[in-house]
Every structure is written in C-alpha cells, then in structure tokens.
Amino acid sequence: MNQPVKIAILGAAGRMGRALIQSFPAAPEARFAAALDRAGCPELGQDAAQLAGLPAAGVPLGADLAAAVAAVDVVVDFTRPEGTMAALDACLRAGKALVVGTTGLTAEQKDRIVAAARSIPVCQSANYSVGVNLCLQLLEITARTLGEGYDVEIVEAHHRAKVDAPSGTALRMGEAVAQALGRRLEDCAVYGREGVTGTRDDRTIGFATVRGGDVVGDHTVMFLGEGERVEITHKASSRSNFARGALRAAVWLASRPAGLYDMRDVLGFNK
C-alpha cells in the first residue's frame, strides 16, 4: 500500500485553511503533516487540528516556512499573493510540489509561477470545486454551440471579507467563454457600468460583482439571446467542496513531473 502524501497547509489559521484541515479525515491518501501561518499570528504554537475543531493531531501551527516545506511532499497555499510567492520560492529551493489556490495574482506573479513549473509540479486553479470545473466544461460547450448571437454577462457574489474583484473563478469562467468564442478576455471584458454607457458591444463579456454577508461563492454566466436566455450557475454553501478538491489535487500532483497543471487536469478533463 502506498504511503499517504504528506501535505503542508499554508494560511492554516484562516477560514480556508481550517476547511482544508477538516477535510483530511475523509482523505486517507493524504496526511496532514504541517501547518503554517504568518509570523505574529496569535494562534501560533497551538495544535492546528484543534483550531479547526478536530481532535489534536500533533501538528502545531508554525511560521517556519522552510522547515515545513522540507518535511512534506506537497504544499497547499490559500493565502495572499505575497505569501504564495514566498511559498513558491521555498518549494523551488526544496524541489517540492505546490498547489496554488490564491487569487488576485498580478501578471508578473503568474509569470513567476509559469517559470517555476519548469522545475517543480505546480497546480494552479481559480477554483478547486469539482462542480465549478464541470461548469467550465459546460461553459465551453455552450459558448461554442450558441456562437456569436448571444450576449454574455457574468455575475458573482462573495462574502464581505473577500479582497479581490471580480473573483478568480468569475475571471476563469470569462476566459473559458472567450476562448471558446475565439476572443481574448482582456480585449472584451467590461468590469463595471455607470452612467450613459451607450449600446452594448456584441463582443463584450460583462462582469458584475456583489460583496456582502457570509456568501461563500455564487457564480452565474448568462447567455442572452433574442427570445431566450441560457444560464449556468454554481452556488457554494460551504468551503468544504473547495477543500476536498484541493486535497484531491495535492495527492494527484505528488506523483506528477514538473509542469503547470490545473484542476481540470486533476479531473481528467484536459486529456
């Protein structure tokens, strides 16, 4: 029997970090081996599993990134862009695999991830939910089938504490539609409308953002035609689906060669 994949969780004291830790009991092929958070985090030194509401696992919440990376097979990062870059550098030095769930990365930071993936296996996805990645498949099929005769609008909603907008998932959905229609999202995206905007450009992909309450994540892509409307919607009621998908990606990534992968590779959609 293969040994479980040893995994470090970065941002372990945060909401997503705790959800990841809570998912380990249902993933026997994964072993919770290290938990990291920022220096100065008030929970440092406490048992990370207990912080997540589970029985003690003997894994204290630490801040020594290099030591944690050295002790595991795969690092799972859901932090902030600067934290992700630090994790990327540490994984490069140690030759370890990295699962990136952070959104809001700059073009330069994305380029650094692409460069690092020439040396280590990296899985980067805007969303690790199996349902969201199924929606991406459906969006490509829908866009190709409906073609140019439909206007595309994307509406997303998240909790009040989310710091980037539109969400990484909304942007990835826009990219999927744009690619299927032979467009570049950066050339056709509209991120806000106000005042007298004029008539709608047929090639536009519009984004609307809602922030408030404790919404985990709602995304709807609308294809609006003459006489009909097609909508593809995904609504997340907890972070557990993202966490389960990220652990699945980490286990899968542990046996892969260097390269840049996403959740659709993990699910076999990109074969």
By annotation, the residues acting in catalysis are 158, 162
Q: Is residue 219 in a domain?
A: yes
pTM: predicted TM-score of the whole model, two decimal places = 0.80
Query: In terms of domains, do 121 and 148 share one?
Result: no
Q: What is the mean pLDDT of residues 9-30?
A: 94
Q: Residue 93: which CATH number?
A: 3.40.50.720
CA 222/CA 67 separation, integer angstroms: 47
Do 118 and 43 belong together in one domain? Answer: yes
Q: What is the average pLDDT score of the chain?
A: 94
Query: Is residue 262 included in any domain, yes or no?
Result: yes
Query: Do 143 and 31 have their domain in common?
Result: no
Partners of 155 in the β-ladder: 208, 220
Q: How confident is the model at residue 271 (pLDDT cuts 50, 70, 90)?
A: low
Query: What is the per-residue pLDDT across 192-232, written as a single tens digit (0 to 9) for each?
Result: 899 999 999 999 999 999 999 999 999 999 999 999 999 99
Return d(Cα 113, Cα 100) in angstroms, integer.
9
Q: Within this chain, do residues 119 and 135 fall inside the same structural domain, yes or no?
A: no
Residue 151 has pLDDT above 70, yes or no: yes
Q: Closest by alpha carbon to 150, among 214, 90, 226? A: 226
The CATH number that applies at residue 172 is: 3.30.360.10
Give the residue numbers spanning the domain of 138: 130-236
Strand order in the sheet with 5-10: 61-62, 30-36, 5-10, 74-77, 97-100, 121-124, 259-261
Write the pLDDT tens digit of every residue in 165-179: 999 899 999 999 999
Q: In this structure, are 156 and 215 located in the same domain?
A: yes
The C-alpha atoms of residue 36 and residue 106 are separated, in whole angstroms, by 23
Looking at the fold, whether 29 and 119 belong to one and the same domain comes out as: yes
Tally of domains in the chain? 2
User: Is pLDDT at 1 greater than 60 in this prediction?
Assistant: no
Query: Can you read off the two tokens belonging to residue 196?
Result: 């007298």
The predicted structure's pLDDT at residue 103:
83
Same domain, 119 and 136: no
The tens digit of pLDDT for each residue in 31-77 reads 999 999 999 999 999 999 999 999 999 999 999 999 999 999 999 99
* Of residues 77, 61, 122, 67, the one with CA closest to residue 257: 122
Residues 140, 239: Cα–Cα separation, whole Å? 25
Q: How many angstroms separate the first and last alpha carbons of the chain?
A: 27
Pairing relation of β-strands 217-224 and 229-236? antiparallel
Q: What percent of the chain has pLDDT over 90?
A: 90
Same domain, 221 and 117: no
